Structure 1
Amino acid sequence: MPVLSRTSSATHARASLGRGDGVTIYWRPGCPVCAKLRTALRGHGDRITWVNIREDADAAAFVRTTNRGGQEIVPVAVIDGVAHSRPTPRQVLAALR
């Protein structure tokens, strides 16, 4: 998984890299993989920041910088400054422990 660049979509890169107390997950409505991840992570919402890329152009740009070819593949979880495209619930839960 790529390490986030501090220059990529600066607003979200700085926010994600600066957080040490949880996980940031970028998602979009209608994405079945996002819905499955969200369901699996119920009960941990206080430690996860969910960012809808359809409501935030900077977030969408950030997601495109983390995926090969500039694709908007979601979900993207930022864990300890590293972006994980399509993380498993197990990966996210491990980061929250």
Structure 2
Amino acid sequence: MARAWGLSVVMLGCGVVVAAGEFAGGRSGAGVLLLVVFVLLAGVNSPLVFPRSVGALEARERSASDGRPVVYWRPGCTYCLRLRLRLGRSARQLHWVDIWRDPAGAAAVRAANDGNETVPTVVVAGRPHTNPDPAWVRAQLSDPR
């Protein structure tokens, strides 16, 4: 759990330090602006932006029963964030697995990517797709199998 929040905590800490420096220098407007920017960056890179993660085993079982794709992701991944934001509300229809929280999910990603933990890896009908186009993923949601 701590690993998933690590990047957000570091960004928030950096924001506080930078803003404190601005406040100490008498530039309160710049301090507030920088603090807001760092808080937003921390929030965007936190697990809060993504739908609730499930374990890899549970995601595979759910996907087998409902046919929806499984997305393996990790906090701080810009490609995962791009996928999540471009999917919009459709993202809640997918089964999300945080590989930093689930060792089985990390193992599944390494098996699909020649030993690398390359995310996002989207599994559709048992076939992995590394960093697919968000429009393609959205199309998989409407494609009856």
TM over 0.5: yes
What residue in structure 2 maps to residue 78 of structure 1?
A: 123
Q: Take 1:89 and 1:35, find their aligned partners in 2: how far apart are those partners? A: 11
What residue in structure 2 maps to residue 30 of structure 1?
A: 76
Q: 1:90 to 1:45 in 2, by over 3 A?
A: closer
> Does structure 1 residue 57 correspond to structure 2 residue 57?
no
Runs of 4+ in 1 over 4 A off after TM superposition: none
Q: Equivalent pairs: percent with the same residue?
A: 39
Instruction: Look at both structures and tell me which one has the larger radius of gyration over its CA atoms.
Output: 2
TM-score, normalised to structure 2, is 0.54
Q: 1:46 to 1:33 in 2, by over 3 A?
A: closer
Shift of 1:86: 0.6
If each structure's strand is expressed as a fraction of its own residues, which one has the higher value? 1
Aligned residues between the structures? 87
Give me the CA root mean square deviation.
2.1
TM-score, normalised to structure 1, is 0.78
Q: Take 1:28 and 1:53, find their aligned partners in 2: how far apart are those partners? A: 6
Letter in 2 for 1:15: E
Q: 1:71 to 1:19 in 2, by over 3 A?
A: farther
Q: Which runs of 5+ in 2 are unaligned?
A: 1-55
8 A Cα contact 1:12 1:59, kept in partner: no
